[in-house]
């Protein structure tokens, strides 16, 4: 039996930008070991696995090395695939049952808007390994449910970081979000995201990181809507809105590859 699998560039309006994710469409749920093998074979930051449920879709996400509890770009890619392939009418809401509860996606013209849980940070004393790995003096260090959050003095400092990924893997948790105000007034803030412990040294565009960045920058800027850029080599743009304990994440997506999986 063959299974449809597509590769989608998420948080991008053109191919070869944003964050690539594989989306595998299943008739029913498969075991975790098999899904991990497929994700390792795809060797992308995330591979999403979708299967139909009476009230939506089951959704799980795997990096090449591990399953994760929350992923923005692969959720956006999954919603894009459901609409593009006609499995879901464009006016219908995509409902995903995940390890982080019910997540939804809706179409807003050329954009897709995700509804995700906020994951606010709390201030912490920075571990020595974190400071050593970044070789940068932070303005602030916090920790969310998933990640460390580090605020630096400006976009140039964020852009120039060359972390020691070996040290970052010793910190525990999923990864490290690094952020600052944007040098361009058209944007509110910029970020990068490093997750070597999850098999992804630098993630090109990380929707779930903005579930932490939204409450953080809301405190800093006293506002709830933002235009954000993730300044990895591929780069990506995200519309962000803090809605109490939820976060709206807006992005675009482009399919770049469609194939069949024989496994």
Tokens of 150: 């580090």
Distance CA 245, CA 261 (A): 38
- Identify the active-site residue in 29, 41, 46, 67: 46
- Which stretch of DSSP H or E encloses residue 215? helix 210-221
Region of 199 please: left (phi>0), alpha (psi -120 to 50) or beta.
left
Distance CA 111, CA 11 (A): 9
91 in active site: no
Query: Terminus-to-terminus CA distance in the chain, angstroms?
Result: 7
Distance CA 217, CA 36 (A): 35
DSSP 3-state of 203: strand
Region of 168 please: left (phi>0), alpha (psi -120 to 50) or beta.
alpha
- Which residues are catalytic, by number? 46
């Amino acid at each position: 039996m063959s299974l449809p699998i597509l590769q989608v560039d998420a948080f991008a309006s053109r191919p070869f930008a944003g964050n690539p994710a594989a989306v595998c469409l299943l008739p029913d749920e498969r075991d975790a070991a098999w899904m991990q093998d497929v994700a390792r074979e795809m060797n992308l930051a995330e591979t999403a696995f979708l299967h139909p449920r009476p009230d939506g879709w089951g959704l799980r996400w795997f990096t090449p090395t591990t399953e994760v509890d929350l992923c923005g770009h692969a959720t956006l890619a999954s919603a894009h695939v459901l609409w593009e392939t006609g499995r879901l009418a464009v006016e219908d809401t995509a409902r995903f049952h995940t390890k982080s509860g019910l997540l939804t996606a809706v179409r807003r013209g050329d954009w897709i808007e995700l509804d995700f849980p906020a994951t606010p940070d709390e201030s912490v004393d920075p571990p020595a390994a974190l400071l050593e790995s970044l070789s940068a003096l932070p303005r602030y260090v916090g920790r969310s449910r998933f990640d460390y959050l580090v605020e630096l003095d400006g976009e140039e400092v964020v852009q120039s970081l060359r972390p020691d990924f070996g040290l970052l893997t010793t910190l525990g948790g999923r990864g490290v979000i690094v952020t600052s105000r944007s040098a361009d007034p058209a944007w509110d803030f910029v970020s990068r995201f490093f997750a070597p412990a999850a098999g992804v040294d630098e993630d090109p565009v990380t929707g779930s990181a903005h579930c932490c960045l939204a409450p953080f920058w809301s405190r800093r800027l006293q506002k709830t809507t933002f235009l954000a850029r993730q300044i990895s080599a591929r780069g990506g743009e995200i519309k962000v809105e803090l809605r109490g304990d939820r976060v709206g994440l807006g992005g675009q997506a482009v399919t770049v590859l469609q194939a069949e999986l024989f496994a």
